[in-house]
Structure 1
Amino acid sequence: MRALFLFVSITAVLQAAAQLQPIGRWREHMDYRSGKRVALSANSVFTATEFGAYMVSRNEGEITRLSKVSGFNDVGVRTLNYSVADEKLLIAYKNSNIDIFYRNDIINIPDILRSTVTGDKAINNISFYNSKAYLSTGLGVVVIDLAKYEVSNTFLIGNSGGNVQVNGFAADATRFYAATEEGLKVANQSSVNLNDYRNWTNISGTNGLPAGAVKQVFIINNTIAVQYFNTIYVLNGNSWQAVYTDAWRWESLNVSDGSFLLCEERFSWGDRRVLVLSSNGAITTTVQNNNQLRYPMHAVKSGNEIWIADYEKGLVKAEATVFERYNINSPYGPLDGELFFHKNKLYVAGGSVNAAWNYQYNGTGFFTYDGNEWKDYNRFTLPWMDTVLDVIAVTVDPRDETIYAGSFGGGLVELKTGNSFKIYKQNSPLNVAVGDPNNYRVGGMAFDLNNNLWISNFAGSNNFLVKKADGNWRNFRVPFLVQDNMVGGIVIDDADQKWIQVPQGNGLFCYNHGTSIDNTGDDRWKWFQTGRGSGNLPSNMVNCMAKDKDGFIWIGTDKGIAVIQCPGDVFTSNGCEAFQPVVQQDNFAGLLFENEDVRTIAVDAANRKWIGTLNGVWLISADGEKVLQRFTAENSPLLSNGIIRIAIDQATGEVYFSTFNGICSYRGSATEASENPDKVIVFPSPVPAGYGGTIGIRGLPENAIVKIVELNGRLVYQTRALGGQAVWNGRDYRNQRVASGVYLVLAKDEFGAEKQVGKIVFIK
C-alpha cells in the first residue's frame, strides 16, 4: 500500500515556499477531457477518462488527479466503480491492471494483468456485493475480495466451460446473474462450485426474454432488469416484460438512485441526451443541451443531481436546467507530433503519420502550454482549420511569434498574433503531392538564424522550400532519386547547413545553399546512409536528429545512435562521417543503444542527451560515454515506455516526454546559464524540516563552481553547475545532513572571481 497524498502534500509545501517545481518532481499532462465513466461516493465524484481519472469534492468542487504521479500504478482507464458499503474505489485499466483506492491508500492487484491465461482479459464492468467486487471480463467473472485485496475466485461460465464475454453482473439475496454474449446466466449463490459452468443456467429465450447476447443486468427496486439491444426487460413474477425501447443508439445504461440512466445518441439528427427512467420504464427526466453536453457516455444520479461523464466536456453536473462543468485543463489525445519550446512556452503538434508515412485523418491540431494552461488550435476552436488534419510539425517565427503548423495533407498554417491566418495549399509555393491531388504534405520545418523558414514538402515535385525572411519563396528539388520524393524532419547546424530526414529507411540528406539562397549554382548536397564512404550510419532508418551545444549532429535510428562531430567538413575533400559512441554502463562498454530503436533525442542546458526509445528514457553524459539515469514505466511515473518525442524547457530544466499514453514531465537538474548572477534563486527556500529531496540553485553563470559554506566560512560542499543550475542533496562531504541554520552560496564565474550569490535556510 502506498500513501496517495504524501507526495502531493510535500510538493504543496515546496511550491508555496519557492513557487518552483522541485528538482526530480514529475507532472503529467494527460487527456482529462474525454469523460467516459462516473461513480459516486458520499463526498466525491469519480470520473474515468480515456487516459486517467480524477476526483471531485461534491461540497467544495476541488479536483484531484488520480494518476501515476499521485501514486496510482497505471495509465489508460477502462472503467471504474465505487463501493459505498466498503468505501473503496476500484479502477480497472485497459491492460487489466487494477488499483483499489481506500481512504489515502492505493492497493494494486496485478493478477489479471500478469496472468498467462489466453483470451480476452478486458474488464468490461465492475459490480459489488457483500465486500466483493465482481469483474465482468472477456473470460468470465473474476471475483476480488475487497477485505483481503486478492482474487478469490473466477467463474468460467461459457458453454461447455469455455470463456465467454461477460458484460454485466448483479446479485439479489439468493442468486447471481451474469449478462453474457451467450445470454443471461443465473446461479444459486449457495452452489458449492460456481466455477463449474454446469451450476449456471442460461435463461435467455424463455419466459419472454429473447435469446442471444445480453448487454447489462441490474437490480432495481428489488427487481431484476436486463438490457437486450435497445430494450429494457424487467422480470415481473415469472415472466419478462419490455418496459422501454427506442431507436436511438445506446451508449450506456446504468442503474443509480433507484432509476435507470440511459445515455444515447440519434445518428440521423446528431442529437444526444440522458434519460432518467423509473423502474417501470417511464421517462421522468430528459437532460439534453448541445452546448453543455456533447457526448454523454455514462451517468449516475443522487437526488436531483445527475452527474454525467461526457467525452468532450469531461464531468458535468445537471440539476434541473443548470449545468456545471468540472474538468481539468489539459490537451486531448496522446499528441504524437513535434514538441518544441520557444520562450519557455511548449508547442505541441497533435497529429501523426503511420510507419508508412500515410496520413491518419487526425483533427487534433496543435497546442500550446505556458506552464499553467493548455490552449487548443484546431477545427473545434478555429473553424477554418477544418481541412487542416494531421498537424505533425510546428515552429515559431522568433521575430513576431507567428506560429507555423505543418499538416501532412492540409498544407501549411500561418497563424499570427490576434488569430489572423493564412493556409498555404493551392495557389501557393507548396507543391501538391505527386499522385494525390489536393493533398499538400509538410514533413518538417525549421527556422535558421537569419529567420528563413525551411520546409520539407513531402511528395512534392520540388520537395524542399524556403520562405525567406523577406517573405519571398524559393523551391528546390532534392537531387537524389527517392521514392515519393519523401523528406521529413529538419535540423540546421552551426554552419547553416540543413540536415533532412529521409523517411522509411532512406537515411538523411545534408544541404548547403552556398553563398546565397537565390544562387543555386553553388548548392551542395550529400546523402548519408550506412557503410563507410556513404555516411557510416548504423541504419538507414533515421527517426530523429538533434544538434548539441558543441555543434555535433546526433542521429537516432532503429539500431542506435550515430554522431557527426565534423558537420562543417561534410563537403571538404576529407569528408565527414558518423561514428557510434561507446557507452560505459555497469562496468561494460558497448556501442550506444546498439539494438535500441531510438525515437527522439533532446539536449539539455548541460549538453547532456535525453534519449527516448520504445523501452523508456535514458539520460547520458554530454560526451555520450556514460548513462546517468534511466526512466521506465516500471521504475518511475513515466506514462509509457514508448517514447515519441522529448522537449526541454531550458530555463527551468523541466523535461517533457510525449509517450504512447500522453505527455508527462520531469524537473531536471540542468538549466540555461544566467547573464545576471544577482538573480540567483534557491529552491526550496527555506528547506522544510525532514525534506530529503534535491535543492536547486538556479540562475548561475554557465558551469560555475559553486560552494556551500557556513556563516564562518567553513566549506560544507562544492560542486559544478549543470549549465546554469547547481544541485545539492543537503548533505556535507561526510554524507551527513547539515544542521538547521543559514548557509551561504558562493559561485566562481568564468574569470575566477568568487562572490556570494544566495543563501539557504534549513528549518528544524
Structure 2
Amino acid sequence: MIKLITALFLCCVVNGSYAQDFSDLWQGYFSYNDIKDVVKGNNKIYAASENAVFTYDLSTAQLETITTLHGLSGQTITTIAYNDTYGTLLIGYANGLIEVVSGPEHNILSVVDILDKQTIPPTLKRINHFNMSDGLVYISTDYGISVYDLERLEFGDTFFIGNGGNQINVNQTTILNNTLYAACGNNNAIKSADVSNPNLIDYQQWKTLGNGNFVSVAQVDNRLYAVKTDQVIYEIRNDAFTALFNYSGIPLDTKSVDNKLVVTTPDRIYVYNSSFNLLTTATLTAENNTQFTSAIITENMIFTGTKHLGVLKSSFLNATSFEEIKPEGPLMNDAFKIEAAHNTLWVTYGDYTESYNPFPLRSYGMSQMIDDTWKNTPFDDLLTAQNLNYIAVNPFNPSQVFISACQQGILELNGEVPKILLDHTNSGLESLRVPSSPSTVSVRQTGSLFDRNGVLWTLTCRVDKALKSFNPSTGEWRGYSFKDIIPDAFNDELGFGDITIDRNGTKWIGAFRKGVIGYNENGSKIKNLNTVAQNMPSTVVNAVAVDNNGQLWIGTIKGLRVLYNTAGFFEDSNANVKEIVVLDDGIPQELLSNQYITDIKVDGSNNKWIGTLDAGVFYFSADGQQTIYHFTTDNSPLPSNFIKDISIDAQNGKIYIATAKGLLSFTSGGSTPKEELTNAFVYPNPVRPEYNILGASSLNDINKGVKIKGITENVNIKITDIEGNLVAEAQSRVNLRASSSSYNFAIDGGTAIWNGKNLANNIVASGVYLIMISDLYSFETKVLKLLIIR
C-alpha cells in the first residue's frame, strides 16, 4: 500500500511540473560516456552519467534511459542508490537536489529541502552518498548528515558533527551493530554514534575514531572497512585501525555488495570477500583509454563505470576483457556548435572565450548523428585539429564538410572521414603575427558557411585579410582586407564569430570590438556599426541572421537589434539599428533588453529562434511582436538555460538546441515553404476514428490535427464541405501558429495545421472535405480532398 501511495503522489508531482505539455515533441541526445555512479536493483544495473541515468536489464540486456524528458533536472549528478523495498531510485546532485524515481513510468519527485536551505552555503550542499537502513536514508553531504524518511517522503534530523557542531564534509556512512559510522574529510577522521540515540543532533554524542581524512567507510558481514586519503584501506575493530592494503591511487568508490567489498581505483577494481581475501581484480588494458569511476557486482559479473566508455561489463574469470554498455549518444554533453544538414547532425566541442581566446586548447573529438545513429570520432583521428567550432556543409556535395579549428585552421572531411587539415602552409589561410613572438603560429578560424554558389566563406581572427573565400570546385582561395575599419589587425580587433550572407551577397559578421560588420567584395565595400549613436547596445556581437525579408537580426551581449535597410546599408550615411518594442500589459518594452544573446536562427516561417546565456530559448513571430514559445528548464526538458547553439532542419521543422548540459531537439511542425504547390499534400488521409487527432484545443502538438504540407510562402487556404460550405480558413502571416493563439487552423511556413473544428468551434462530422490552396503571389491554385471518418 505504501508503494501505491508513493507512486500516485509522484505521478501528481510530475504531471504538474510543466505549464504546457510538449513532451511528445522533444527528443533528448545525452552523452552516457562519463559515468558518475553504478548501482543495482530490481534485476537491473543503474548507471548515472553527468545528468541522465540509464538502466541495463540483467535478463534481457535491454537499455532504457531516464532524462530531462522524464522530468530529471539536468543538473550534475554525484551519486545514486536503489531501494528494493520501495522500488525507488535516489539521485543526488552537486547542488543539493535529490530526485526520487519511482515506477515503470519513471515518475519523479524532486526533493528541494537541502537545495533551498538558506542556512547551508551553496558550496556545501553536494550529495556524496546515500545509506539506506530500515526505510531511512542517511545522506552524506559536504555539511554533515541529513536523514530522509522514504515511507513518509519527508526529512528528519540533520547532524552537524564537527567540533562545536560545525558543518564538516561527510563522504560516506554505514551502520554496523547499531552504530552509525561516517567517513569525514577536513581532518575529522571517522565519526561514530549509536544510531538509536534520539539526540544525534548533539555533536557531543559522536565519537572520533582515528585521524586524518577518510573517503569511504563500509561494512561487510560484521566487519568494518574504511579508506583514507593516504590510499590505505583499514579494518576498524574495537575502534582500532589495522592497515590492510596500500593502493596505487586513492580509491574513488567503495561498496558493500552481497557480502563482498568492491573497491574502485582509477585503473583497477578489487573484489574481496568479507574476510578481505581478494576474489578477483579487473584491470584496464592499453586498448581501453579511460579511467574507472565506480563499480558494482552481480553473481560473477562486474559492471564498471568509466569516464569515457560508459559502463564496462566483465566476468570474475576474465576481468580484463570488457563489453561496452551504454545507450547511443554524442561524445559529450557540452556541445559548442551544431549543424543540421542532409539528415545529419554535426556536433563539435571546441571553445574560445568571449574575446576569442582559444586557450586552454581543447583536444576533443566530434560527433555525427545520421538517421538517429551516432558516430563519435575521437581527437586522435582529427589530424591534430583542436578547438573545433563552426561546421560548413557543401550544399552541392554534402559529403564534403569543413570544420573551423580555432588554432590550426580548417579540418576538411570527405565521406565523414578527416581528409586534410588546411592551414597557412597548404591553403590561403593565415596565421596571426605576434609582434613580440614572430615564430608563433596560430590560425584562428571561427565562423564559416557556404553561399548559394557553393563558395566557402570563413573568418580568421587577428589577421588583416580576416575574410577568406574558397571554391572547392576550383581550389581557388581569396582574401579580403578589413584594413579600412581595422588598421591594426592584431590589436584593434580580437576576433569574429558568426557570419551570414544576404541575397545581395553582402557578408554580415559579428565581431568583438567592431560590432556588426558588412562586407561586399563587389566594390570592396566595408562598413560597421558599433556605437551608441548607431543604437548598438554593445560592441560584442555573438549572432547575426538575415531573415526572409532581407532584414539583419543582431544578437549582442546586451540585447537584440535589427538592421532593416540592408540593401542600402553602404550608401546610408546615417545607418543605424532598431530595437523591437513590444507591449507588456500595455506598457512599451524593449524586446530582450540587456539579454546576453548567444544565437539567432530563422526558420521556414520567417520566425526567429533566439538563444540566451541564462534565459533559455525564445521563439518569436517574424516581426518579433509575438512570443510563440519561451522554453526554459522550468517548463521544458531543457537541462540548462545556457543555450550554446541552435540549428534548424529546414525540411521537417526540427529545431536542434545545444545547451551547456545536453543536446535536444524540438519538433515545431513547421517546414520551409516550397516554390510551387505541385507536390502539396494532406495527411493523415483518410482521418480514421482510431487516430484520435481531431479536436485539440491547441495546434502546438503536431501529433494532433490534420497537416497540409508542401505549400508556398504566401497562401490562403479554405476548407469546405462537399456542398461548398466554408468550414475553416487560414492565411500565411495572418493565422500564425503560436502557443498563445487560439486558432483552429493556422500556417507555419510550408505546413498548415487544422484541428478538425469548424467556424462554430465544433468538430466536423464524417465526410469528404475540399482543401483549396491559393498562392497570393503567383495565383497558382491546388485542390486537395480529405476524407474524415468519425
Q: Taking structure 1 as the reference length, what is the TM-score of the superposition? A: 0.89
Tell me how far 1:324 sits from its aligned partner. Answer: 3.2
Of 450, 457, 474, the match for 2:460: 457
The question of whether the paired residues in 2 share the 8 Å contact of 1:434 and 1:461 is answered with: no
Alignment counterpart, residue 196 of structure 1, candidates 191, 194, 202 = 202
Matched to 1:468, the amino acid is: N
2:240 aligned partner: 239
Counterpart secondary structure, 2:446: strand
Is the contact made by 1:365 and 1:390 (CA closer than 8 Å) also made in structure 2? no
User: Structure 1: any 5+ residue segments left out of the alignment?
Assistant: 8-20, 205-210, 266-271, 515-521
Contact 1:585 1:627 in 2 (8 A): no
Query: Equivalent residue of 1:128, what SS?
Result: strand
Q: Which residue of 2 aligns with 1:417?
A: 415
Partner of 2:130: 126
Q: Is the 8 A contact 2:394 2:454 kept in 1?
A: yes
- TM-score normalised over the length of structure 2: 0.86
- How many residues are aligned here? 723
**In structure 2, what is the Cα distance between the partners aligned to 1:713 and 1:58?**
61
Distance of aligned partners of 1:742 and 1:379 in 2 relative to their CA distance in 1, 3 Å threshold: farther
Aligned-partner Cα distance in 2 for 1:61–1:364: 30
1:681–1:192 CA distance, 2 compared to 1 (3 A)? same
Aligned-partner Cα distance in 2 for 1:684–1:647: 34
Q: Who is 1:13 aligned against?
A: none
Q: Summarize the Cα distance change of 1:759–1:648 in structure 2 as closer, same or farther, 3 Å threshold.
A: farther
Aligned to 2:783: 755
User: CA 1:664/1:60 → structure 2, altered by over 3 Å: closer, same or farther?
Assistant: same
How far apart, CA to CA, are the structure 2 residues paired with 1:659 and 1:368? 17
Please tell me the residue identity of whatever aligns with 1:256. Answer: V
Q: List aligned pairs for 1:464-503, cutoff 5 A.
A: 464-469=467-472, 470-479=474-483, 480-481=486-487, 483=491, 485=493, 486-503=495-512
Aligned partner of 2:429 in structure 1 is 430
**Aligned partners of 1:738, 1:335: CA distance in 2, in Å?**
48
SS at match of 1:358: coil
1:337 to 2:332 alignment: no
The answer to whether the Cα contact below 8 Å between 2:412 and 2:419 also exists between their aligned partners in 1 is yes
1:690/1:395 Cα in 2 relative to 1: closer, same or farther (>3 Å)?
Answer: closer
Deviation at 1:733, TM superposition (A): 4.1
Task: Please state how far the C-alpha of 1:40 moved relative to its aligned partner.
Answer: 0.5
Residue 623 of structure 1: how far off its partner (Å) = 1.0
CA offset digits 1:26-68 (Å, max 9, x no partner): 1111212212211101322111001211122221222221112
Q: Are residues 745 and 5 of structure 1, via their aligned partners in 2, closer, same or farther at CA, if it must alter by over 3 Å?
A: farther
The code of the aligned residue for 1:326 comes to: I
Distance 1:335 1:190, change over 3 A: closer
Residues 693, 706 of structure 2: 8 Å contact kept: no
Partner SS, residue 389 of structure 1: coil
Structure 2: any 5+ residue segments left out of the alignment?
1-8, 16-20, 730-744
Q: 1:685 to 1:557 in 2, by over 3 A?
A: farther
Secondary structure of the equivalent of 1:491?
Answer: strand
Q: SS of the counterpart of 1:499?
A: strand
Counterpart position of 2:153: 149
* Residue in 1 that maps onto 2:252: 251
Q: Encode CA deviations 1:399-425: one digit per residue, 9 max, x unaligned.
A: 222110101112211111262611112
| Equivalent in 399, 402, 406 of residue 404 of structure 2 | 406
Q: Are residues 179 and 683 of structure 1, via their aligned partners in 2, closer, same or farther at CA, if it must alter by over 3 Å?
A: farther
**C-alpha distance 573-86 of structure 1, shift in aligned 2 (>3 A):** closer
**Residue 315 of structure 1, CA deviation:** 2.0
Partner residue in 2 for 1:15: none
Q: Which residue of 2 aligns with 1:16?
A: none
Q: Summarize deviations over 1:162-206 as a string: whole Å, max 9, x none.
A: 1100000111242111111111000112322211111111111xx
Mapped to 2, the partners of 1:371 and 1:165 lie a distance apart of 47
Q: CA deviation at 1:371?
A: 4.3
Taking the TM superposition and a 5 Å limit, the aligned residue runs for 1:251-290 are 251-265=252-266, 272-290=267-285
Summarize deviations over 1:299-353 as a string: whole Å, max 9, x none: 0111112111122221222223364332111113234422222224222222111
Task: Report the alpha carbon displacement of residue 683 of structure 1 after superposing the two structures with TM.
Answer: 9.5
Aligned AA (1:584): L
- Residue in 2 aligned with 1:506? 514
Residue of structure 2 aligned with 1:136, choices 135, 140, 153? 140
Distance 1:695 1:93, change over 3 A: farther
Over 3 Å counting, the alpha-carbon distance change for 1:35 and 1:714 in structure 2 is farther
Q: Does 1:699 align with 2:726?
A: no
Alpha-carbon separation, structure 2, partners of 1:500 and 1:591: 24
Are 2:464 and 2:482, in contact at CA under 8 Å, matched by a contact in 1?
no
Once the two structures are superposed, what CA deviation does each residue of 1:598-633 show, in whole Å capped at 9, x if it has no partner?
A: 211111111111111121121111011222221111
Superposition pairs of residues 619-638 of structure 1, within 5 angstroms: 619-638=619-638
SS of 1:551's equivalent in the other structure is coil
Deviation at 1:370, TM superposition (A): 3.0
Q: Which amino acid aligns with 1:317?
A: K
Q: CA–CA distance in 2 between the matches of 1:439 and 1:367?
A: 25
- Structure-2 residue corresponding to 1:44: 44
Does structure 2 retain, via aligned residues, the 8 Å contact 1:340–1:647? yes
Tell me whether 1:166 sits opposite 2:170 in the alignment.
yes
Q: Which residue does 1:207 correspond to in 2?
A: none
> What pairs with 1:679-690 in structure 2 (closer than 5 Å)?
679-682=681-684, 688-689=691-692
How far, CA to CA, are the matches of 2:685 and 2:33 in structure 1? 33
Shift of the 396–235 alpha-carbon distance from structure 1 to 2, 3 Å rule, reads same
Q: Which amino acid aligns with 1:186?
A: S
The residue aligned with 2:294 is 298
Quickly say closer, same or farther: Cα 1:23–1:60, change in 2 above 3 A: closer
Find the aligned partners of 1:221 and 1:487 in 2 and give their Cα distance. 63
Instruction: Give, in angstroms, the shift of residue 238 of structure 1.
Output: 5.2
Aligned equivalents of 1:370, 1:710: Cα separation in 2: 43
Deviates more, 1:729-738 or 1:243-252: 729-738
Q: Distance in 2 between matches of 1:743 and 1:244?
A: 81
Residues 1:546 and 2:545 aligned together: yes
Query: Mapping of 1:271-670 within 5 angstroms?
Result: 272-290=267-285, 291=287, 294-319=290-315, 320-321=317-318, 323-359=322-358, 360-380=360-380, 382=381, 384-385=382-383, 387-401=384-398, 402-417=400-415, 419=417, 421-428=419-426, 429-435=428-434, 437-469=440-472, 470-479=474-483, 480-481=486-487, 483=491, 485=493, 486-503=495-512, 505-514=513-522, 522-532=523-533, 535-573=534-572, 576-613=575-612, 614-670=614-670
Check the 8 A contact 2:331/2:376 in 1, yes or no.
no
Q: Structure 2 counterpart of 1:695, which letter?
A: G
Cα 1:624–1:690 shift into 2, 3 Å: closer
| 1:115 match | 117
State the AA in 2 paired with 1:327: K
Aligned to 2:740: none
Against the structure 1 CA distance between its residues 280 and 116, is the aligned structure 2 distance closer, same or farther, given a 3 Å change threshold? same
Deviation digits for residues 723-749 of structure 1 (CA, Å, limit 9, x no counterpart): 11122345444444556x566461413
**How many Å apart are 1:72 and its aligned residue?**
2.8
The offset of 1:679, in angstroms, is 4.4
Moved more, 720-729 or 637-646: 720-729
- Which amino acid counterpart does residue 389 of structure 1 have in structure 2? Q
Alignment partners' CA distance in 2, 1:27 and 1:635: 15
**CA RMSD, Structure 1 to Structure 2 (Å):** 2.7
Distance in 2 separating the partners of 1:456 and 1:133: 55
Residue 22 and residue 235 in structure 1: after superposition, are their counterparts in 2 closer, same or farther (change >3 A)?
A: closer
Provide the rounded CA distance (Å) in 2 between the counterparts of 1:681 and 1:22.
Answer: 21
Q: Which amino acid aligns with 1:512?
A: N
In 2: Cα distance, 1:683 partner to 1:498 partner: 45
